[in-house]
Structure 1
Amino acid sequence: MFIDSHVNLHGEDFAEDLDAVIARAREANIGRMIAICCKLTDFEAVSAIAEQHEDIYCSVGAHPHHAKDRPDITADELMEMARHPKVVGIGETGLDFHYGYSPEAEQYQSLKTHIDVARRMDLPLILHCREADTAMADLLEEEMGKGAFRPLLHCYTGGSELARRAARLGAWFAASGIITFKKAEDVRQVFREDVPDDKVIIETDCPYLAPVPLRGRRCEPSFLPHVAQGLADTKGWTLDETEARTTANFFDLFDRVSRP
């Protein structure tokens, strides 16, 4: 059984064939999926998918691109949303200094609120980080000093410094289809050398980042075994070993997801 820890199933990309996409995922031995909320106004649509399918759970949060939409969101407001019975994680939140769609100050403000909620509710914190490695590492260390929480650096493409510093804090890391890309040797090196074996999980981040040999297509959860093969090749594991390790690691982190 594989677990897709990060899917984006709501919205127009899957509007015409969502049921078929989910059926193909099950046929590919995808035992659980987490539907990710990146915009607070999308939570109703995201959670509705989780409500309709026993094997799909969800998160609640605001991607740094959307931090500007509700920079004043309070921890109490976010906690109320997170009490939905299918919510198993907080986020996607984080820092993105590449696009700058939200001012940095508002990204920090939103991220700190998400951290507070993840800490208080003891839920995994799903993090996006782009061109903000040092800022993210500094903030995680600062916030961990205020009280423990469980960070997950999703679709990890950061450098060794952030990986090492986050690993010392007990963070998890998710490999996406990028780990199969020909030009992503720097990403593979970090997963080989800096990501602990017991802290790595896998995701598709569908509909984005389809893995080789399906690159260029709309990504979907049924492509996850190709991501697993990329991680297996990187770590020197068999595919069966990768399946067992990443599934066990997933349930260690997402402990409110039921086991099949």
Structure 2
Amino acid sequence: MSIRFAFTLLLLFLANLVHADIQTKTITYQDGDVECHGYLAWDDAVEGKRPGVLVVHEWWGLNDYSRSRTEQLAELGYLAFAADIYGEGRTTEHPADAGKMAGEVRANVDQWRKRAQAALDVLKSQPQCDTSKLAAIGYCFGGATALQLAYSGADLDAVVTFHGALPAATLEEAKQIQAELLINHGADDTFVDADAVAKFKKVLDDAGVVYEFIAYPGAVHSFTVPSADTVGMPGIKYNKEADEKSWQAMRELFERKLGK
């Protein structure tokens, strides 16, 4: 065996040891009569309790992309749980089906928030979770879901959206927000127009909500999703710079609010 080959094997072995600390499992939970299948990830090398982060999927459902983001958060030392907002683990790769599933959820806001809260409760019930330090993040449809959770007055320290839909809260709902908000938005996103952005901001300003709104130049919808370019939908495209900057902005908020 050559020295170079042996060294390569050693590097692979060490890499596997590092990755092996990240543990994952599917958790089945109930929201009324609906069975949901969430995805939990944590670093087994971290001792004791750690902050919990709820992850909410795009309109495609809880797919590999959502799971990968959940694992990334675990690598940062958080306990991360990906919610199944559609229930029954439903996913799709077809925009028409995704729009239908997302529309069904949006049609009943109270049930939408209840489904998100059920997932947050699962996260809080995990023995590794420090329930005094909680956050929620969401992508596209998931961003709107995280906001709806905040509007309901959920006990969260931080909420982060990535190219999320921006449903405007009522003034009363905005006053219930406990979390600091970070909105990562594509400056050229044609799915969320300037009027929607203005209405969204005005209510938060009127209620005195602490938030940061970052619009990334040249970024459109789904700018954090590497596979976005393959979907074939106008207005959806990956942007590496915006992806990396928005993730770093999230990390800085979490370090400040969650202490990690």
Indicate whether the TM-score tops 0.5.
no
Band the TM-score falls in, shorter-chain normalisation:
0.3 to 0.5
More strand by share: 2
> Between Structure 1 and Structure 2, whose CA radius of gyration is higher?
2
Larger RCO: 1 or 2 (CA < 8 Å, sep 6+): 1
Bigger helix fraction? 1
